[in-house]
Amino acid sequence: MLRTRFTEEFGIEHPIVQGGMMWVGRAELVAAVANAGGLGFITALTQPTPEDLRKEIARARELTDKPFGVNVTILPSINPPPYEEYVRAIIESGVKIVETAGSNPEPFLPYYKEAGIKVLHKCTSVRHALKAQKIGVDGVSIDGFECAGHPGEDDVPGLILIPAAAKALDIPIVASGGIADARGLVAALALGADGVNMGTRFLCTQESAVHQKVKEQIVAHTERDTQLIFRTMRNTARVADNEISRKVVEIEAAGGTFEDVRDLVAGARGRRVFEEGDLDAGIWSAGQVQGLIDDIPTCDELISRMVTEAESLINARLSSFVA
Ligand SMILES: Cc1cc2nc3c(=O)[nH]c(=O)nc-3n(C[C@H](O)[C@H](O)[C@H](O)COP(=O)(O)O)c2cc1C
């Protein structure tokens, strides 16, 4: 058993989190993570309507009686979804943990607090983590530059970001980005984190509802097989290397604007990758940690292996260095 402030305060068994993942954070994956003793997040916006989110939460409840949460990612958008209604669906469904990401969670915090919901805010810098602590979130999940999805614009990797955050913050910290195994977990704990968050690793598990070819591609990919798109727009996203992501980077380098890549990066194209296994249909998030992933385990196999190996890394390898 690994016990930390995070497992204690969030009421979970192991300090391992499956972060929100668009098109991936569905009931089966989240329940599998929960049943294995980790903390899984249903991704609210993967559900087309707040009513569908209520059904997805109910479906997860049928699959597990352990705690799980919902991720609410609020990114700038031309046609914003009805966030208030999604939040109401979460609160009325009785979910007790929310992962916020993409923007300042302050407007919704009073509602979460009133409902007794614990908020884990995901951010990419110490200054944003400090702000989140100040406004009253219960924990922060901090993504280093290695991560899949949005690493921010500071380009600070976890080896620096996590201890810098640990030095500055009082609330529990979850290290995110670049973690796939016990070594990453133990390293994160050594750096001052109270737990780890993984995206790409959980994307490549049996229960993740994406096409088998995507999982096989993650296994085949190395740590060099990602691209950073939207750098020129200061909205960087780390995605898997493929024809489309390379083309987007090329267009940006030649001075292209969002309009020039809009069709290539459309969500519907990315969805085709996950549903049909057409790996070059669009962009899809994946991190540098692909280089550490070489199998497609169940969530239970993954989490128990990480915990058991972490215990022996601490008890055997690390303690053997102490003279
Ligand atoms: C396919 C995919 C989709 C993601 N979608 C979201 C999302 O909608 N909201 C969010 O907060 N993070 C999202 N993330 C980021 C993860 O929650 C997590 O922070 C990140 O993957 C950590 O880096 P790692 O992949 O190196 O573990 C996504 C990641 C992946 C791989």
Contacts 24+ apart (CB under 8 A), 279-284: 279/213, 279/214, 279/217, 279/240, 279/242, 280/242, 280/243, 280/244, 281/244, 282/244, 283/229, 283/237, 283/239, 283/240, 283/242, 283/244, 283/245, 283/248, 284/214, 284/239, 284/240, 284/242
Q: Which residues approach ligand 1 with their CB closer than 6 A?
A: 19-22, 24, 43, 71, 73, 101, 122, 143, 146-149, 176-179, 197-201, 203, 285-287, 289
The per-residue pLDDT for 98 is: 98
Q: Point out the ligand 1 atom lying closest to the alpha carbon of residue 180.
A: 27
The per-residue pLDDT for 114 is: 98
Q: Point out the ligand 1 atom lying closest to the alpha carbon of residue 176.
A: 22
Residue nearest to atom 22 of ligand 1 (CA): 177
Residue nearest to atom 6 of ligand 1 (CA): 21
Report how far ligand 1's centroid is from the alpha carbon of 191 (Å).
21
Provide the 10 A C-beta neighbour count for residue 243.
12
Report how far ligand 1's centroid is from the alpha carbon of 322 (Å).
37
Report how far ligand 1's centroid is from the alpha carbon of 198 (Å).
8
The per-residue pLDDT for 79 is: 86
Select from 114, 6, 8, 95 the least CA-distant residue to 43.
95
- Please report where in the chains the tokens 């890549």 appear, as a residue: 261
The continuous run of DSSP H or E covering 98 comes out as strand 97-101
What secondary structure does DSSP assign to 121-151, as a single string? Answer: EEESSHHHHHHHHHHT-SEEEEE-TT-SB--
Residue nearest to atom 28 of ligand 1 (CA): 21
Provide the 10 A C-beta neighbour count for residue 45.
20
CA distance 218 to 207: 15
Those residues of the chain that have pLDDT short of 70 are: none
Report how far ligand 1's centroid is from the alpha carbon of 151 (Å).
10
